[in-house]
Amino acid sequence: MDYGKFKFDEAQKAKESRRKTQNVGVKEMKYRPKIGPGDFDTKTRLVEKFLNEGHKVKITIMFRGRESAHPELGKKILDRLVERLTDVAKVESAAKLDGRNMIMVLGPEKKAKAKVESAKEAPQQEVVPSISADVTMEVSIEEN
């Protein structure tokens, strides 16, 4: 084997390995202690979408002013978020207070990702009800 063929094969292997790798990014979602239920649901749906795509998600609870005196409110929000996403996510770093922010990192659950991919691959079969009717008609013809 000559050197040129060797270099070509190495380049092909490197290109193939780069193609197969998945680029995992870290997305961030910011919450506030006084978040309403509608906003909480919307942000949580987005977090779930990011996790299903395979990204890690950094959850930040931002405290302002006197809110920083009540970190238990932020912890309660994070607990509610983890409870809602137990089947999709796993906690990679527990909630910790960092200045005026409380931070937690969630990672995608391997089992949940496999379920999502298998659901995409399996085509949905349409259920068509079959109609079978046995109709017997008795016809009597009377002649006058």
Q: Is residue 29 part of a domain?
A: yes
Q: Is residue 16 part of a domain?
A: no
* pLDDT at site 25: 81
Q: Is residue 130 part of a domain?
A: no
CATH code (residue 69): 3.30.110.10
Q: Which residues form the domain of 74? A: 23-117
pTM, whole model, 2 decimals?
0.64
Q: Is residue 142 part of a domain?
A: no
Q: Is residue 64 part of a domain?
A: yes
Mean pLDDT of successive 10-residue stretches along the chain, which has 144 residues: 89 86 82 93 93 92 92 93 91 90 91 60 59 62 68
Please identify which residue in the block is written with the tokens 């079959």.
130
* pLDDT at site 11: 93
Distance CA 135, CA 38 (A): 55
Query: Number of folded domains in the chain?
Result: 1
* pLDDT at site 127: 58
* pLDDT at site 18: 81
Beta strand residue intervals within the chain, DSSP E: 26-31, 56-62, 89-98, 101-108
* pLDDT at site 9: 93
Q: Is residue 113 part of a domain?
A: yes
Q: Is residue 134 part of a domain?
A: no
At 62, give phi and psi (nearest 5°). -95, 125
Q: Is residue 138 part of a domain?
A: no
